[in-house]
Each structure stands twice: as structure tokens, then as C-alpha cells.
Amino acid sequence: MPLLSASKHEDSEGTVQIPTALGPIPFIGTVPLIDPEYPVASFNQMAAKYGEIYRMIIPGRPEMILISSQALVNELCDEKRFEKTADGNVLEILRSGVPDGIFTAHTKDEVWGAAHRILIPAFGPVAIQGMFDDMYDIAAQLALKWARHGSSAPILATDDLTRMTLDTIALCSMGFRFNSYYHDELHPFILTMSSWLRQASDRFQRPFPDVLYRIFAPGTERAWAERCAALGRTASEVLEARKKNPAERKDLLTAMMEGADPKTGLKLSEQTIIDNLVTFLIAGHETTSGMLAFSFVELLKSPQAYRKVQEEVDRVVGRERVRLDHLPKLKYINAVLKECLRLNPTIPGIGLRPHKDEIVAGKYLIKSSDNIFLLFGPAHVDPAVWGDTARQFIPERMLDENFEPLERKFPNCWKPFGNGVRACIGRAFAWQEAVMAMAVLFQNFNFVAHDPDYKLKVKETLTIKPDGFTMRAMLRHGMTPTELEQRLAGGARSAGTTKQTPSPLSDAPTISGVSTPTEGMKPLSIYYGSNSGTCEALAHRLAADASVQGFRAVAIDVLDAANGRLPKTGDHPVVFITASYEGQPPDNAAHFVAWLESLKNGGGEMEGVNYAVFGCGHRDWARTFHRIPKLVDSKLAELGGARLAPLGVTDAADGNTFLDFETWEFEKLWPALAARYSVEPKDLASALESVDATTGSLLTVEVSNPRSAGLRQDVGEAVVTAASQLTAAGVPAKRHIEIQLPSSVPYTAGRTTSPPSRRTRAERAVKHAFFQAVVKGAEEGVEADREEMQEWYETVRNKRYAADLSPLSNLLQPPPSAVPAREISMAGSRFCQAPCSGLPSGASAEDDWTGKTKGNNQDHAHGHDSLPLPISCRSDPRQQSDASAMGWRGARLPAATSHQIMAMGSKKRREIGVYGWLPPEPAEPEVARGWLLPGLAGSNHLTAARGIKSNSN
């Protein structure tokens, strides 16, 4: 091996020789300069000495060129000139253990292409959102562990966050529970993985050829083989568990077991599935846990940033259960995570190789046989981009309004998820998990560093993490661990999420409740470009809505199918729905875009084509944001096409793709088509009958879904004529059911069946609406007329539920088993009652039971005819708590010992609300909730969920 000088000189061709990093010991090249415990730190130190590009020599391995400046990283991220490679770096070592993994296989390998195309939909936006509840489940386990750990005990943050991310990727993508929090030690998979990755790094740095180690150090080779086998066994256990217990989950494991490559038709072999399970179990938790751990380290060193994170969580989430729709609003947390990955990229870099000999930076020759490694650490703190504060933790610079202009000026200045077609396939998964976890933890805890003098120390394997970092977690708001458990449970699943969302095609809603004749309808063609499946789902949704609007979808196909086939008759509109992938078209739209770009402007090639375009994108790719939708829209117009509606776009970062599409569809597209083609939307069956006008004024209904035109209520009764179970015992049941439709209802695709509502649920819903009208009237100073309310209730009962509901007089009586009632009311309330004579057991007459509020000397206004609203509970004077401890200010209430009493109040100290009766020992929680009728003053999130708008603050 020649020993090269580290000096620079120009060769005969005018290029500058790349400097070589050499140690003081001959014949072993760069090896003496590499710290085996911290190799990445060694590479970064050499970059500081040798500059933005240098060569590294390790005997027995190909030479490697390392890149460390933003300018060169940007140049080498051009996939037309360079491609990712698993040769000449640590991935080459890992290939011997998982040859077919999606991160270790070669791009040109047939198995990599097949796996990539099969797995992309499993990590699409719709699928990731459907994983939210499982992610929340694991994060809640972590929060409870820390709460029960106590506020004085040190927490090994990195270890616990690793447990969380491993359990999350296993549950969400494979339906498998490692239950890491129920063991004192880390799961054996984590320990084996850590040793395996460390050994891979050591093997890459060995100064002698591998054959010598096989001869003279066979023990290390056996240890390597044993660790590879142990990882494979864990993955095999996951696979076998799914085989023995088939599930209908549409997750990553299902995609690998059942999916076929849409391009070649190939299915993945069992060994390929095992290799990819190992890959995702490692990559899916290592990087995310590192990012979260670095975030805690940085935030605990930056009190100002820490405060901003907690203030944002309090403002956006409050004391509610964290929901999916909260995440896009957590802008500062998003910036914190980005800044932590800038300063501490958990993947230190990626390996590349040029397609042919290349000159970079105008002076360095890189041959096609050279291996290249991009060092993200130095590139992320390049002063040319980030200035004098490059190494400081400043999250504000990563806020969208600041980072997007910077990224446009300095492309590829932030690359923690890799590049191009080989970029991290699970980025959206990791980001949703990380933002959600930060929200849950900062909502419920205050954190302090256990060792105030801790200096960041990094543990390196294939990834990097903080080492030895400990902190303490203290519950906020005076909560106990039991109260935290109740808050985290938060009732049902988060609003706006669907557990284990099925594939986009099957999930797209349709409007096909009744037969819709197509005579006289205008033809409509819909073409989509989609890799992850989102645009395809939007296309099918549009097709389902078309018949309602007087159009018939005659084509729903990929964009490539539209090459040279666009209708030019003027009476046949075309809608294009497409995304951009780093400025490039989706796989099934590449030919169409190339064809469109090849046409010369002004040639009139698209005359007679009437079109509209909707585009999907993600603002993190600021330089190429919505490039393809914009190109299609503008190019069609330049070629003579007629734009029917303005370009519609959505940003996947906001998580509102479907709502944005529906808004564009119903506010822009359909009105434009109706005006152009003189088509009236089909008249659908009316929605729910209006309530009586005299009482309707007490209710304000706010509809947030713009698809109101598509809501149907044409339900009918059907008869089940036959039912049989198809599956054997021990597996999830699947049944064959035959249904006889009414003679007046023809069968059409998309019809659904639903069992009748339980009587208790129907009664609860109507009772709740009844009491809300009373609350609404009280807020607006309107006297609630009992006779009008009685008439309203009976009207709804007769029209919607017939005799299924009890008369109102029955519902206004407490159940026989209830504890004797005690009326509680608030000062100034128009529907209050004087207190009744007997006090509940254990209550004192000195307790503030008469409804006076602190700071409010107004007594009850008695003497008017109002509606009695008693509440009963088992009272314990030791458990009486001030209302302010429950998040509102007002009267004192006795806390229930058997059941939790929900109390909501307004910031204006107006009223507690309206309460119903609570049975002492209900048969099931639903019955208890059926009797507990909380007033919703000051609780906008609950009223919005029921469609009743609250005016309280």
C-alpha cells in the first residue's frame, strides 16, 4: 500500500490532489488517527485538520474519500452523478449479517427495488397517522414509569427512550410487544444489537486483512456469527408470532408477507423479510431514541428554549390528552428536534460512489472506483451556512420561516435522513413519534439534570447517542401517578385518528348509499402520480364524489397512462393529482412528465384539454416544494389547455392532506365544473331533520367538514338471513353473512350495514343535547322553558328514535340505586335551585355547598321557576378538594370516592355547569357515563366533538 503525502499539489492535468490523512506508524495508513471508541469523532477531527475533503487509508480495505463541507455535500447529493453504496464503509460489514436489508442491499439489487416499492405505502402519510394510538400507548407507558419512579431518583434517559422507541417500532409496524418497561434490563435484542454494531465498527477499522483474523482470532469471528444469528432469531420470533396469530393489521409486516412488487410481481422471501425486520428494529429505534435524548440534553442546558417548549405544549394541548391533530401545531418542538439533529446527526453520514470519474469543486478528481463518505456532523455546522453561531443550540433558526429561505440558499445543508431514493423510508414515522413523545412528556413533567456538571459524552455504534446522561422527572400540576394514569387514558381514542388505518384504496370513503344512474352525466377522467398511495386515495375519493356532482368517472389511472391520451373535446374535464419527491415525479408519473416537458410551448398540443391540478408535497424540501404539480399545471396552460380551477396544494407537514383536498374539491373544483358545464349537483337525501325552531335558537351547530353535500341519512332496515363462521377456533373470527335488503332498495357497491344503537347510548346522546340547551340558554341569559324543552325532546324522540327512548319525565328521575341526591348550583346561574335539606353522609354544613364562589359574594337567585338538576355521590370530607386544583376557579365540591366527577368551569367564574346523577355502582362504565352529564362551559374541545359550539372562554 503506497504511503501518500498529506500535502496538496497540482498534477499534470491541473487537478488538485486530495490530501491523505496518515498516522505516524508506517504501513497502517490512517489507523493510528482513529479512536476505536469514537471513530466518527476522529473523522470529524481529521476534517478540521485536512479540510473539506481528504483521503483515508485502512490496510485491507479500499481507500475512502471523506467530505465535510456543505458545498461539497450539496454537489455530491446529485443522484445523476453519485449513488449511495454499501461498499467501502460499515454497511459493507453489516451486509454479512443482513444482506437483503433495505439499508444494506445495493440499489441495483432486484430484491432492494422490490422491497422498497412494497414498503413505501406502509410508510405513507395515511398509514403513519393510523399508527398514532399505538405510539401513544408506548409513550404513556414511559410517562407512567417515570411518574412512579419518583421525583428524586435519577433516570437513565437514553436507556428508557431506547425502550420506548424499540417497543414503538415493534408494535406499530409488526404488532409485536417487547414489553421493555416490564424488565429491569434492556431487552436482549438491544444488548445484542449494540454489541453487533460496535463489532461492525471495529471490524471496519482493523489494520490487517480479514483472512488473518479468521486464522489468528477465530473467537471474534465466532462472536460475530453468534450475534448475527441472535438478531435473526428475534426477527424470526416476530414472524412466527404473526404466522401463528394472523391479524388484519395493515402494517409493515403484513406488507412484506402479503405484498407483491407492483413493478415485477415478485414477493419477498422469508429470509428477506427477516433481514428487513432486523433492519427496521435497529434503524427504527436507534436514531429516534438518540434524537430525543440529545433534545433533553440540549433543552436542560438552555432554560429559555426549555420554557418555550413547555409553553407551546400548554398553549396547544393544555391538559387534554395529546391528539394527532395537535402535532402539526407544535412548531417549536419541531424546530428543537431539527436543531438537535443538526448539531448531533444520529446517522453520522452516508457512503457514495460516482457513476463515472468526476471532478468536484472544480478541482478534485474522484474516480468511479473511489468510495466516498459524507460527514454530516461537520457539514451541519459549516460557518459558511450557519455563521459564527454554527455550534450553538438555537432552535429558532429551524422554524419554517427561517429555515426554508436558508435551505433554498444552501441546498442540502441539513441531511440527517440521508439523500434521494435511499433516504430514510421511516422519516415520517420517526418524526410523528418524536413530536408526540415530547408533547406527552413536557405536558406532564418538569425535568432537571441529575448532574448539573454533566458534559456531553457520545456513545458511538453505527449511530450516536448521549452516554451517561441522567435526569429527574417531577410531575406537574400537583398530580399523583394515579391521576396521571387517568389523564393519559383520557377516555376513548384520540379524535381524528383511526387505529390501524387500512390501505388508502380500501379506506377512501365513497358515496354510494343508493343507486346513482349515470344517464346524462358528463365524463370525467382522473389521473394520479403516487408512490406512497396518498394521491391514489385522493383520486378514488374524487371519483366517488363525482356522481353526486353530476359527473361520471370514466378513467381513474396513473399519470403515465395519460401519455398522448388526454381528451380534447372540451366536454370531458381531466383532473390530475400528483406529488413531488425531491423535485422529481412519482414513479408512475415520470413518463408523463417527461412527455409533457418535451412538448414545445405555443404549439397548441393541449388545445381542447380542460383540466385542474391538485398537488401534494412537504415543505421540508423547500427548494422543490410542489415542483411537479406546478410544472404540470403551468405546462398544460402554456400548451393551450384550459385551466378549470386554480391549482390546489397541500403540505403533508401539517397533517391535513385530506381536509385540504376536500376544501379544494368542494370550494374550487366542483363549483368551477358546474359553472363550465352547466351541471347541477345531484340532489341527495336531506340530513338530520332540524330541531324545533323555538328551541333551535339555543343550539349553534358548527360543521367543520366541507363535504356536507355528501352526507347521507338514507338508512333502512335489513334482515340477516344466514350467518356462519368460516375460520377455525383459535384465530380471529371471519363470518359469512347473507343480508336481505328491503324491496325498495337495490344493491350497489359500497353499501354498509350497522347494528342498531344501544338504547342507553341513544338516550345518553339526547339527554346530553337537552342539558346543553339549558346550559346554552343560561350562558346567553335565556330562561330555559321546561315545556319547550319537553316538546323539543319528544319531537326528536318521535322523529329519530320512535319508541326506543324513554319519555323525558323518566329520564329526569335518578335511578333507584342512586345515593340520595344533593343539589349543587352556582351563583348567578339562571337555573339554580335552593339547596335541599339533608346533607350527604360525611358532609359538613360549613362546606361551601350553597354555590358561593371565591371572590364572588353574590348569593343564589332563588324564587324563579327553574329546572332541578341534582347530583349524587359518595362523599368523604377528607377528599373535598378546591375547584382550582381541578383547573377552574369556583365552588368547592365533595370529591367522589367511587367514581370521578367531571367538573368543567369557565375562566369568568360564571358557572360550574349542569350535572346529572351518578349511580353508586354501575354495571359498566358506559352506564356511569350515561348518567354523568357534565356541563361544558369552558370546555370547547368537548363541545366541538359533539357539534355544539360553546361561547364560554
Residue 215 has pLDDT above 60, yes or no: yes
Instruction: Give the pLDDT score at 776.
Output: 56
The full length of the chain comes to: 953
Mean of the per-residue pLDDT values of the chain: 75
pTM of the full predicted structure? Answer: 0.64
Clarify whether residues 531 and 472 are in a common domain.
no
Clarify whether residues 802 and 892 are in a common domain.
yes
Q: Which of 363, 385, 415 is the last residue of a domain?
A: 415
Q: What's the DSSP call for residue 666? A: I
Number of domains in the chain: 4
Residue 86's CATH number? 3.30.43.20
Residue 77 is among the residues annotated as catalytic for this protein:
no
Q: Which residues partner with 581 through β-bridges?
A: 584
From 388-397, 558-567, 738-747, 813-822, the region with the lowest mean pLDDT: 813-822
Among the listed residues 172, 340, 413, 424, the single catalytic one is 424
For residue 544, the enclosing domain spans 505-677
582 — pLDDT class (breaks 50, 70, 90)? confident
* Tens digit of each residue's pLDDT (9 = 90 or more) over 690-702: 333 333 333 344 4
Q: Do 118 and 266 touch, CB atoms closer than 8 A?
A: no
Note whether residue 56 is domain-resident: yes
Q: What is the distance between the alpha carbons of residues 815 and 741, in angstroms, rounded to a whole number?
A: 39
Q: Which of 613, 645, 677 is the last residue of a domain?
A: 677
Clarify whether residues 572 and 669 are in a common domain.
yes
| Orientation angle between helical segments 270-301 and 110-119, nearest 10 degrees | 60
The β-bridge relationship of strands 20-21 and 53-56 is: parallel
Q: Which of 441, 462, 489 is the last residue of a domain?
A: 489
Query: Side chain identity at 782, as an amino acid letter?
Result: V
Among the listed residues 104, 162, 279, 287, the single catalytic one is 287
Clarify whether residues 474 and 586 are in a common domain.
no
Clarify whether residues 450 and 597 are in a common domain.
no
Residue showing cell 336531506: 686
Return the exposure string of 680-711: e unless at least 16 CB atoms fall within 10 Å of the residue's CB, then b. Answer: ebeebeeeeeebbeebeebbeeeeeeebeebe
Q: Which grid coordinates belong to 242?
A: 404473526
Task: Give mean pLDDT, residues 376-393.
Answer: 97
Q: What is the distance between the alpha carbons of residues 324 and 128, in angstroms, rounded to a whole number?
A: 11
Rounded (to 5) percent helix, strand, coil in the chain: 45, 10, 45
Instruction: Give the pLDDT score at 684.
Output: 34
Task: Give mean pLDDT, residues 372-388.
Answer: 97
Residue 882 has pLDDT above 70, yes or no: no
Burial class of residue 811 in the structure, from the number of CB atoms within 10 Å of its CB (0-12 exposed, 13-18 middle, 19+ buried) = middle
Q: What is the distance between the alpha carbons of residues 189 and 278, in angstroms, rounded to a whole number?
A: 10
Task: Give mean pLDDT, residues 526-530.
Answer: 94
Least Cα distance to 47 among 307, 429, 349 occurs for: 349
Q: Which grid coordinates belong to 560?
A: 403515465
Q: What is the distance between the alpha carbons of residues 542 and 91, in angstroms, rounded to a whole number?
A: 44
Q: Which residues partner with 558 through β-bridges?
A: 528
Residue 440 has pLDDT above 60, yes or no: yes
Residue 27 is among the residues annotated as catalytic for this protein:
no
Residue 530's CATH number? 3.40.50.360
Clarify whether residues 785 and 863 are in a common domain.
yes
Clarify whether residues 15 and 58 are in a common domain.
yes
Clarify whether residues 138 and 169 are in a common domain.
yes
45 — pLDDT class (breaks 50, 70, 90)? very high
> What phi, psi does 627 have (nearest 5°)?
-60, -45
What SS3 class is residue 631?
helix
- Give Rg (Cα) of the chain: 32
836 marked ligand binding residue: no
Instruction: Give the pLDDT score at 654.
Output: 85
Note whether residue 748 is domain-resident: no
Residue 798 has pLDDT above 50, yes or no: yes
Q: Which residue has the higher pLDDT, 873 or 248?
A: 248
Q: Which grid coordinates belong to 345?
A: 446527526
Instruction: Give the pLDDT score at 647.
Output: 96
Q: What is the distance between the alpha carbons of residues 257 and 265, in angstroms, rounded to a whole number?
A: 14
Clarify whether residues 287 and 387 are in a common domain.
no
Instruction: Give the pLDDT score at 884.
Output: 28
Note whether residue 572 is domain-resident: yes
Residue 310's CATH number? 1.10.630.10
Clarify whether residues 306 and 408 are in a common domain.
no
Residue 82 is among the residues annotated as catalytic for this protein:
no
Clarify whether residues 595 and 529 are in a common domain.
yes
Residue showing cell 441495483: 108
Residue 305 has pLDDT above 90, yes or no: yes
* Tens digit of each residue's pLDDT (9 = 90 or more) over 884-912: 222 222 223 333 322 222 232 323 322 33
Note whether residue 817 is domain-resident: yes
Among the listed residues 417, 576, 661, 771, the single catalytic one is 417
Clarify whether residues 584 and 458 are in a common domain.
no
Instruction: Give the pLDDT score at 376.
Output: 97
